[in-house]
Amino acid sequence: MPPLLEVKNLQTHFITRSGVARAVDGVTFSLERGQTLGLVGESGSGKSVTCSSIVRLLPKGSGRIVGGEVLFEGRNLLDISENEMRRIRGSQISFVTQDPMTSLNPVYSIGNQMEEPLRYHQGMRNHGQLHAKVVEALTQVGIPSPERRVKDYPHQLSGGQRQRVVTAMAIECQPSLLIADEPTTALDVTVQIQILRLLKDVQKELNLGMILVTHDLSVIARTCDKVAVMYAGRIVEEGPIDEIFARPRHPYTRSLMRAIPQIGRKEDRLYSIPGQPPDVRRLPQGCPFAPRCPDVIDRCTHEAPTEQFFGSNHRARCLRAEEMGAS
């Protein structure tokens, strides 16, 4: 049986006036049912574009998937028709988006929006049935008095509740893959924990494959089975959670770990890693992290690092990966 999701050498480029942005440049990873993959990296490293590419929802005009494969249950999603793709979105692959304040349509009631996946994917038309399903989903995500909430509009709900609604909407059709792109960034710290717990519960209950995008390694540590670290459109290190935390092999991963924010403080968008992430339109020769790397050596500036494997499931893209693990 093929893995739930297998992304192979995915390349997504943006054609802009000032050049081609290689937002995702050869990303490869896989995910099994019941597994959670943490996707971590600085802003602009290509996490969101990777997620969007999986369901082929890129900004019209400029964004293009130029290479690679996205095998979902063995089927290449890049080959199917737009209509087939649409039927997968929201039913088999669901999303929990970043900002619940803006992700719900302000002019339709919660109930109305929650009914949509059921209508479009399961052809459910019966009002009573729809209502029951919606209430059930709301109950499942822990919305109090869901009967009443159904008639409410998004602006009548708190941020945490809205994210619960978004989550409920995502799991209504029993998907097998859930992609949560920074689901807690816009929320209060106390609420963040609740939402993470909810996602984890849901994931376990439905035995979902889940991709959790975050800036926060501590979140990853608590929720994920494995982690992929992205830098400048590539995965620079990937491996099981304990492996990575015990023996990070990429200097970037190590910097990230050093920059883990204190508990209770709302995290910053940017880590306090010195220097700026590179411009994906003008990547330097050699390792893109080299200019900022504390462990940089001469070779790094002109020789592009290849992937090195450590055991069956830990890999890193660094010329000095070997020595890193040793130290």
Partner 1 sequence: MTGYIVSRLIQTLVTIVGISVVVFFLARLSGDATALLIPPEATAEDREALKESLGLDDPLPVQYGIFVKGIITGDFGDSFRFGEPALDVFLDRFPNTLKLAAASAVVALLGGVSVGVLGAIRAGGFVDRLTTVIALLGQAIPSFLIGIMLILFFAVELRWLPTSGMAGPKTFIMPAIASAWYSMAALTRMTRSSMLDVMETDYIRLARLKGVPERAVIWKHAFRNALVPILSLFSLQIIFFVSGSVVIEQIFAWPGIGQLTIQAIFSRDYPLVQTIVFVTSTFLVLLNLGVDLLYAVIDPRIRLA
Ligand X SMILES: Nc1ncnc2c1ncn2[C@@H]1O[C@H](COP(=O)(O)OP(=O)(O)OP(=O)(O)O)[C@@H](O)[C@H]1O
Stretch that binds partner 1, among 99-107, 195-203, 205-213, 287-295 (CB under 8 A): 99-107
Is residue 234 helix, strand or coil?
Answer: strand
Residues 29-68 as x/- pattern, contact with partner 1 by CB under 8 A:
--------------------------x-x--xx-------
Close Cβ partners of 153 (under 8 Å, ≥ 6 residues apart): 106, 107, 108, 109, 110
Task: Report 184-243 residues binding partner 1 (CB under 8 A).
Answer: none
Binding mask 249-268 for ligand X (x = CB under 6 A): --------------------
Query: Where would I find the H helices in the chain?
Result: 47-54, 82-88, 100-103, 110-122, 127-140, 146-149, 159-171, 189-206, 217-223, 241-246, 251-258, 321-326
48 is a contact residue toward Mg ion (CB under 5 A)? yes
Single-letter code of the amino acid located at 164? R
Task: Establish if 175 lies at the interface with ligand X (CB under 6 A).
Answer: no
Q: Is 276 in the site for ligand X (CB under 6 A)?
A: no
Using CB under 6 A as the binding rule, whether residue 154 contacts ligand X is answered as no
Amino acid occupying residue 117: P
State the number of binding residues for ligand X (CB under 6 A). Answer: 16
Query: Kind of pairing, strands 19-31 and 308-310?
Result: unpaired
166 binds, among Mg ion, partner 1, ligand X, none (CB under 5 to 8 A by kind): partner 1
Instruction: State the CB neighbour count (10 A cutoff) for residue 283.
Output: 17
> What are the residues whose beta carbons fall under 8 Å from the beta carbon of 239, sequence distance 6 or more?
226, 227, 310, 313, 314, 315, 316
In eight-state DSSP terms, residue 277 is P
Q: Is residue 16 a contact point for ligand X (CB under 6 A)?
A: yes
Residue 46, interface with ligand X (CB under 6 A)? yes
Q: Kindly tell me which residue out of 14, 29, 72, 95 binds partner 1, with binding defined by CB under 8 A.
A: 95
Binding site for Mg ion (CB under 5 A): 48
Binding site for partner 1 (CB under 8 A): 55, 57, 60-61, 86-91, 94-95, 97-99, 102-109, 116-117, 120-121, 153, 155-156, 166, 169
